Amino acid sequence: MKTTPNFEGFQIRKWHTHIEDVLTNENGRHADGEPLRKIVIAAVILNPFAGRSVDDLGEVVNASPALGHEFARRIRQLLGDDTVESYGKACVVGADGEYEHGNAFLTSVFADPVRDAVGGGKAWVPSTGKRGGINTVIDIPLAHKDALYVRSHYDTVSVMVADAPNPDEVVIAFAFASRGRLHARLGGIKTSEIQGQDGLH
């Protein structure tokens, strides 16, 4: 069936938003400060490379900044006056595609507008992905946006987009967190000690 792009050259079937607020840890200890809010924004997109082998994936890479700006608009709208301390991104590629197809959506040119939307980020955005069928659950890694060595912010958010991906689709997701884990106690650099120079410390 022939499809017509409906967003900047992409065919997007739907957008998905997931928000969770964590008030206690697993043992019932109340939050040590503000609750932990995790937000995931995802898009279900027709994979233009599905069912064929393509060496040049520039069609997606070069167009992905437009997606990044839309993800950025959506997270700004959701945040209001709230802030983001950590982030991560992921993809699930339907069975007719390659994992590499999903990665084409997730390069830095896609992520940069999202970084800007959350106040910048010195650290690289942790990323993961896999191939899977409808209702695949994906675990999105989180790390501090300015310093990867902040152990308190190593975390994960799990999300499933109902009825996606179809074999010829890709789910692209970006995750955000308002703070580190509740009652993190593994030492390392504290958020107050971040130098913000090299993305590590």
More confident residue, 148 or 197: 148
**pLDDT digit string, tens, across residues 74-119:** 999 999 889 999 999 999 999 999 999 999 999 999 999 999 999 9
Among the listed residues 72, 178, 146, 174, the one whose alpha carbon sits nearest the alpha carbon of residue 116: 72
Q: What is the CATH number of the domain that holds 92?
A: 3.30.1330.110
Residue 59 lies in a domain: yes
Burial 160-180 (b: 16+ CB within 10 A, else e): bbeebbbebbbbbbbbbbbbb
Mean of the pLDDT values across residues 177-188?
Answer: 95
Using the predicted structure, report yes or no on whether residue 62 has a pLDDT greater than 90. Answer: yes
Question: 180 lies in a domain?
Answer: yes
Instruction: Give pLDDT tens digits for 15-46.
Output: 999 999 999 999 999 999 999 999 999 999 99
Q: Give domain status of residue 7, yes or no.
A: no
Structural domain range at position 186: 12-193
Check residue 2 and give its pLDDT.
60
Which residues lie closer than 8 Å to 52 by C-beta, 6 or more apart?
none
Domain count, the chain: 1
Residue 2 located in a structural domain:
no
> Is residue 68 assigned to a domain?
yes
- With respect to residue 1, please indicate whether it lies within any of the assigned structural domains: no
Q: Are 189 and 149 in contact (CB under 8 A)?
A: yes
CA distance linking residue 44 with residue 10, whole number of Å: 10
Q: What percent of the chain has pLDDT over 90?
A: 89
Kindly indicate the confidence band of residue 4, based on its pLDDT and cuts at 50, 70 and 90. Answer: confident
Decide if 61 is inside a domain.
yes
**Does 6 reside within a domain?**
no
Q: At what angle do helices 64-79 and 108-117 cross, to 10 degrees?
A: 20
pLDDT given at position 199: 87
Count the alpha carbons within 13 Å of 98 in the hemisphere toward its beta carbon. 11
Q: Does the predicted TM-score (pTM) go above 0.85? A: yes
Nearest CA to 93 out of 142, 56, 57, 44 is that of 44
What pLDDT score was predicted for residue 39? 98
- Rounded Cα–Cα distance for residues 23 and 35 (Å): 5
